[in-house]
Amino acid sequence: MPTASTDEGHIASSESDLSFVSKIENEEGSALRACLQCGACSSVCPVSGFMDYTPRQIVGMARSGLSERLLKSKAIWYCASCYACTEVCPKKIPITEIIHALRRETIARKTYPKRFAPPLLTRSFHGVTASRGRSNDGLVMLHTYLREKPLKHLGMIRIAGKLWLKGRLELLPDAVKNRADFSRLVNGSTERVDGAKEVGS
């Protein structure tokens, strides 16, 4: 397939990139191609100012099959999943779900930025909850920060201590009654996501 450049200045270079569009469309049951590039999503997004690509650009890039830069971007990880974009989209494109789909691809390919907390928290949270059936703030944050920059978060000890004194931080993680059954339900017979076991134990 010949290389094609687009208005976003990125390059579509392989078959797999286009199959990537179909994959997202299948998963979301939505017509990514219906996007008007009107920018309503970017205008209501509370974090677009922090993103290397705005929501409009994310959708534009995703539908062009230009996955590589997107899958390395920080932008998709700054989404707070507040659904403001989804609600305002005139073509009813589930933009938040598309961003989640991009994140899944990123995690599967391990292309997310290194030592960057948002994807690390996502993996930790999924790992802890898929394995224990319940989350625990301390456990999730510990796993996240150890993989990010542990020293950066030493200051958190102060607020954690305060919350603990107020009874707002439980140190002993909770779990469902039968963790094996739960894991089987959530992860299926095969271990689909490598992080789950290692993080949740």
DSSP β-bridge partners for residue 5: 11
Distance, in Å, from the CA atom of 102 to the CA atom of 97, rounded to the nearest integer, reads 9
Among 141, 143, 147, 200, binds another protein (CB under 8 A): 141
Question: Of the candidates 63, 64, 70, which has an alpha carbon nearest to the alpha carbon of residue 91?
Answer: 63
| Burial class for 22, CB neighbours closer than 10 Å (0-12, 13-18, 19+) | exposed
Q: How many residues bind another protein (CB under 8 A)?
A: 62
What character string, x for contact with another protein (CB under 8 A) and - otherwise, covers 38-77? --------xx-xx--------------------------x
The distance of closest approach from Cβ of residue 63 to another protein in the complex, given in angstroms and rounded to an integer, is 19
Task: Give 24 or 35: the residue with its C-beta nearer to another protein.
Answer: 24
Is 107 in contact with 89 (CB distance < 8 Å)?
Answer: no
Is 93 in contact with 55 (CB distance < 8 Å)?
Answer: no
CA-based R_g, the chain, Å: 19
Binding site for another protein (CB under 8 A): 27, 29, 46-47, 49-50, 77-78, 80-84, 86-87, 94, 96-97, 100-101, 103-104, 107, 117-118, 120-123, 125-126, 129-130, 133-137, 141, 144, 159, 162-163, 166-170, 172, 174, 176-177, 181-182, 184-188, 192-193, 195
